Every structure is written in C-alpha cells, then in structure tokens.
Amino acid sequence: MVYLQPESGIAARLRYSYITRISFSEKIHRHHFLLRCMPAMSSVQQTMESYFSIQPECSYTQSTDWFGNTIITGSIEGFHDYFEFKSEGVVQTFKYRITEALNRLFLYPSQYTQPVQSIRQLADELHFSGNETEHERVARISDLVGTRLQYITGSTGVETTAGSALELGAGVCQDFAQLSIALCRLSGVAARYVSGFMEGEGFTHAWLEYYCKGSWYGYDPTHNRLIENGYIKIAHGRDYADCAVDKGVFRGLAQQKLEVYLKAEPDLLGGSFNQ
C-alpha cells in the first residue's frame, strides 16, 4: 500500500458520448423527468463543447439543484413508447482539487451511508492513531473496502445501502463509493458521493471526494486509486440519492427496458459533433 499525496496531474482533454434509451412495453403519457447528465463546471474541468437532446421532442429547462449540479427537467404530455436522451461533448480536465468552504453536511450519515453496526465494526479495524493525514486515512479505507467487497455486476441495485453491500460482500462502483464514504465520515473525514464518466466504454461511474485543508480531492475506491485525470464529473451529493442520472414519473402501466451507451476517450483530433 502506498499513500499518495495529491500532485499536479497532467491536464487531459476527453470527448464523451452518453446515450440512454428507455423503451416502454405500452404507451405512456404525462411523463415528468429530471436528468443529471451534463458535466459539472468547476476548477477540475471545463466544458469545451457540448450537445444535448431529448426524444420525443419536448420542452425542458436547465437549472441547478441544491448542491449546484446541473439538472434538466421537463415533461412529455402526449403518448409515447420510448424516452431517449443524449449528452455529448468535450471536457478539459485539470488537477483534481476543488477549493471551497466545507459544507459540514458531508461529515454526517446520509440515507445510504448509515453507520450500522457492521460498518462501525469495520471502522474499528482501521486502528487510526489520530496522526494520519486525510490522504492517508482515505487510502487505508479504500484498501480495506477492497478486501470486503467483490465487484460483481448486477449484484446490487440503486437502492442498496452501504450496510447491505457490506453484508452481501459484493457490489458495484456505487457500493464501493458509499461504503468508503460511510467509513470516511466515521473517521472524521468529510466525504461526498460523485457520479460521472470514466475513460473507456460502459456505464456511468461513481467515486468519492474527500476534504482536506480547504479542498476536495477525488478518490476511486472501486479501482483503489487517487484520481488525477481520465474522469468527467457530473454531480456530487451525500450519496446516490442526490446524484441519480434519471428520475421520472409517468401515467400508464408499462414495463421498462433500459439501454445505455457510454464512451469517453482522449480528444486527440478535435472536431465537431454531427447534430
């Protein structure tokens, strides 16, 4: 185990394409939605290009939530049997360090990070002396979580708590992040949940940010590493409940089929999107 002190990382320019399509077995209507799928604006990253669309065509508005995350809300009143949104763009990422005042909310348990007995017992195994830096504490917490959770696709769901994942001994990135956050907060380290894109292809990713001496730093417990570049931040909050990509309600009785396409890669040639 190596304790990594954050250093000035090399800036990375990433091109991403994120498409989600939900097919309904029967036509629905009065569909109201809230989306979080646009890159966050901060000292960590800057959006160079962006393109966003929703099908079927509808009216929508862009604003921010209580945490400052970009959200898109809208509704489709007419009958439809699918819902698709696309977010594409180019993001310039920088050294992962966000300097801002601490919101002490991130020191306390949240809905999915409640410190149940099994998590408290796990925290006792860390044996912190009190002399460790926040960087050292987070690295040790991530090491420990990696010994207790096995990454198994589909083993948990969006409503799985940190305690439930620990009991199961398996999970996905959401669970690695939430269990690590619960342990951070028990250890006196402010931590928050982050959703976004990681370089490669697949699905959205989750990691954590921890607070040290006036700044937030990124750590990916799923891959057990300090984040320097190769990540696009979308949203942050207390846990998954504050960062869900898609929330919606509609009228109708229909089963849903979800299809997701995500690709994030270095933007070497530049160029524009075909809109």
**In this predicted model, what pLDDT tens digit does every residue of 257-269 receive, in sequence order?**
999 999 999 997 6
* pLDDT of 105 over the 50 cut: yes
CATH topology of domain 98-196+204-241: C8orf32 fold (3.10.620)
Query: What are the start and end residues of each CATH 3.10.620.30 domain in the chain?
Result: 98-196+204-241
Per-residue pLDDT, 269:
64
**In this predicted model, what pLDDT tens digit does every residue of 82-92 receive, in sequence order?**
999 999 999 99
- Beta pairing, strands 45-55 & 191-198: unpaired
In whole numbers, what is the pLDDT of the chain averaged over residues?
Answer: 93
Q: What's the rounded Cα separation, in Å, for the pair 184 and 211? A: 10
Q: Quick one: which of 18, 53, 55, 23 has its CA closest to 39?
A: 18
Per-residue pLDDT, 7:
43
Question: 163 falls in which pLDDT band (50, 70, 90)?
Answer: very high
Query: What are the start and end residues of each CATH 2.60.40.2250 domain in the chain?
Result: 12-94+246-266
* pLDDT of 40 over the 70 cut: yes
**Is the N-terminal amide bond of 115 cis, ω within 30° of 0?**
no
Distances (CA, A) of 172 to 40, 112, 146, 179: 23, 14, 11, 11
Q: Which of 3-17, 115-129, 150-164, 165-179 has the lowest mean pLDDT?
A: 3-17
Q: At what angle do helices 117-124 and 173-186 cross, to 10 degrees?
A: 70
Q: Which CATH architecture has domain 12-94+246-266?
A: Sandwich (2.60)
Q: What's the rounded Cα separation, in Å, for the pair 250 and 33? A: 9
**In this predicted model, what pLDDT tens digit does every residue of 51-65 receive, in sequence order?**
999 999 999 999 999
Token pair 């190769």 is found at 230
**In this predicted model, what pLDDT tens digit does every residue of 170-195 receive, in sequence order?**
999 999 999 999 999 999 999 999 99
Mean pLDDT along residues 18-27: 97
Specify the higher pLDDT residue, 157 or 271.
Answer: 157
